[in-house]
């Protein structure tokens, strides 16, 4: 099986934008990070993504409805211990608080997939984001050794425990969401229990002028689904057709689940791959988030599920391997879905 890292390495695109700004040392927003002002933010704070209790007997129906109308929901009673989530946030904070030259020791290689650096989507935008990220695929140990030669056991232990719990939850959510479509493991061409996954630690340092810049530019995730811990500081916004950008209010203990491109394709566009972004906060508010991307093995084919196709519903996308789709997305970003459209 080709891993995510191998796909990125084999099809490397020269990424000039890798090294983040040393945010600790700046007092004003440099022109390189100034974004045009966006006035498309909705002031309707009544509208928000649904909250789904995994213990609710109606969870299947509610999750299906949330995926269909929003492409996202917040999940509670998900079984991830709150102290584990706190530990992962604290380890992320410890990492991003390191001096810039220390973080550079774990810098993502130009053709690499893991380590410290700017978001992969950076080259598609004319300005830099107020963001630094750390991507982990599989074991975090090599990068952790580079960051903390004598003190990396705690980081690795917390990350590995979090990855295991996230995998179980993602598998459970996938079954739940597919059940809402009357689809089961037998209808799939891959094993939900052997996914391609990645963990992304995001850091949005406090900003002297938050309205002039952007934390993470609008994008959809390439995953099947993404599970996000967004800490207690707000910043995540989703785009709702006909409404505009809406904030996703942090709820203590809840995790945000969003539909990614692969689930959008499988559902034959019934579930939107939700467009989202992250905005930043004023002095003193250093926001962190932790995203778990759960996907399909890269050698597998992805296409609209046969069960969802009938005379009224013809396929909206042609079949592609996940690897082909990732390459299309790396090269064409938001055009990728339309490039496989029928
Ligand atoms: C599995 C992955 C999804 C991701 C690319 C990656 O290989 C690891 C980083 C992920 C991330 C996090 C920030 C936003 C995003 C669009 C990006 O630039 O890197 C996502 C990628 C994605 O969903 O395509
Ligand atoms: O930080 C956030 O709220 C969003 C992060 C995100 O969208 C991502 O990592 O893909
Ligand atoms: Fe995202």
pLDDT in tens, 111-124: 899 999 999 999 89
* Position 200 pLDDT exceeds 60: yes
Out of 5-19, 62-76, 92-106, pick the least confident.
5-19
- The answer, yes or no, to whether any atom of ligand 1 lies below 6 A from the CB of 200, is yes
pLDDT at 17 over 60: no
* Residue 252: CB atoms within 10 Å: 7
Q: Does residue 287 carry a catalytic annotation? A: yes
Q: How far is the CA of 183 from the centre of ligand 1 (A)?
A: 27
Cα 99 to averaged position of ligand 3 atoms, centre (Å): 26
pTM exceeding the 0.95 threshold for the entire prediction: yes
Neighbours of 313 (CB within 10 A): 12
3-state SS, one letter per residue, for the chain: CCCHHHHHHHCCCCCCCCCCCCHHHCCCCCHHHCCCCCCCECCCCCCCCCEEECCCCCHHHHHHHHHHHCCEEEEECCCCCHHHHHHHHHHHHHHHCCCHHHHHHHECCCCCCCEEECCCCHHHCCCCCCCEEEEECCCCHHHHHHHCCCCCHHHHHHHHHHHHHHHHHHHHHHHHHHHCCCCCHHHCCCCCCCCEEEEEEEEECCCCCHHHCCCEEEECCCCCEEEEECCCCCCEEEEECCCEEEECCCCCCCEEEEECHHHHHHCCCCCCCCCEEECCCCCCCCEEEEEEEEECCCCCEECCCHHHCECCECCCECCEEHHHHHHHHHHHHHHHHHHCEC
Residue having the nearest C-alpha atom to atom 14 of ligand 1:
119
- Tell me: pLDDT of 39 over 80: no
Atom 23 in ligand 1: residue holding the nearest Cα:
221
The atom number, within ligand 2, closest to the CA of 248 reads 3
User: Residue 43: is its pLDDT beyond 90?
Assistant: no
Which residue in 220, 202, 219 sits closest to 135, CA to CA?
Answer: 202
Q: Using 50, 70 and 90 to split pLDDT, how confident is the model at 311? A: confident
The answer to whether the CB of 263 falls within 8 A of the CB of 224 is yes
Q: What is the model's pLDDT at position 46?
A: 78
> What integer is the mean pLDDT of 138-145?
97
Average pLDDT over residues 240-263: 95
The pLDDT of residue 286 is above 70: yes
Give yes or no for a contact between 206 and 285, defined as CB atoms under 8 angstroms apart.
yes
225-238 pLDDT per residue, tens: 999 999 999 999 99
The 8 Å CB, 24+ separation contacts for 302-305 are 302/262, 302/265, 302/266, 303/265, 303/266, 304/265, 304/266, 304/267, 304/268, 304/269, 305/181, 305/183, 305/187, 305/188, 305/266, 305/267, 305/268
| pLDDT of 16 higher than 80 | no
Q: Which atom of ligand 2 is nearest to the CA of 235?
A: 3
Is pLDDT at 310 greater than 70 in this prediction?
yes
Is pLDDT of 42 > 90?
no
Whether the CB of 268 sits within 6 Å of ligand 2: no
The arithmetic mean of pLDDT across residues 175-197, rounded, is: 94
Report which ligand 1 atom has the smallest distance to the Cα of 8: 7
Ligand 3 center to 196 CA (angstroms)? 16
Is ipTM strictly over 0.90?
yes
Res. 25 pLDDT band, cuts 50 70 90: confident
Q: Quote the ligand 2 centre to 143 CA distance (angstroms).
A: 21
Nearest CA to ligand 2 atom 3: 236
Check whether 22 has a pLDDT greater than 60: yes
Q: How much is the pLDDT for 13? A: 65
- In short, whether 323's Cβ falls inside 6 Å of ligand 1 is no
Active-site residue, from 282, 287, 316, 318: 287
Q: What's the 222 CA to ligand 1 centre distance in angstroms? A: 7
Computed over every residue of the chain, the mean pLDDT equals 94
Measured from the Cα of 293, ligand 2's closest atom is: 10
Output the CATH code of domain 4-301. Answer: 2.60.120.330
Domain positions in the chain are 4-301
């Amino acid at each position: 099986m080709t891993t995510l890292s191998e796909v990125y390495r084999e099809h490397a695109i020269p990424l000039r934008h890798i090294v983040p700004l040393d945010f600790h040392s700046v007092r004003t927003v440099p022109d390189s990070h100034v974004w045009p002002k966006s006035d498309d933010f909705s002031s309707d704070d009544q509208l928000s993504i649904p909250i789904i209790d995994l213990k609710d007997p109606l969870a299947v129906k509610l999750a299906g409805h949330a995926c269909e109308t929003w492409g996202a929901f917040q999940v509670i009673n998900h079984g991830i211990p709150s102290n584990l989530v706190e530990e992962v946030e604290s380890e992320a904070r410890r990492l991003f608080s390191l001096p810039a030259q220390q973080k550079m020791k774990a810098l993502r290689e130009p053709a690499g997939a893991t380590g410290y650096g700017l978001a992969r989507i950076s080259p598609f935008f004319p300005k830099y984001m107020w963001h630094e990220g750390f991507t982990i695929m599989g074991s975090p140990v090599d990068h952790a050794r580079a960051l903390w030669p004598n003190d990396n056991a705690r980081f690795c232990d917390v990350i590995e425990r979090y990855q295991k719990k996230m995998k179980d939850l993602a598998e459970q959510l996938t079954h739940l969401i597919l059940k809402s479509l009357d689809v089961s493991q037998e209808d799939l061409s891959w094993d939900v229990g052997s996914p391609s996954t990645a963990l992304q630690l995001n850091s949005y340092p406090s900003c002297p002028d938050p309205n002039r810049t952007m934390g993470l530019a609008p994008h959809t995730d390439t995953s099947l689904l993404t599970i996000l811990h967004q800490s207690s500081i707000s910043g995540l916004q989703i785009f709702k057709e006909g409404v505009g950008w809406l904030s996703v209010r942090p709820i203590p203990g809840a995790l945000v689940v969003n539909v990614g491109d692969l689930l959008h394709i499988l559902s034959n566009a019934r579930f939107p791959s939700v467009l989202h972004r992250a905005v930043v906060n004023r002095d003193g508010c250093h926001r962190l988030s932790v995203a778990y991307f759960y996907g399909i093995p890269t050698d597998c084919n992805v296409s609209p599920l046969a069960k969802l196709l009938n005379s009224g519903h013809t396929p909206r996308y042609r079949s592609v391997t996940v690897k082909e789709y990732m390459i299309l997305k790396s090269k064409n970003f938001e055009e990728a879905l339309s490039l496989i459209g029928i």
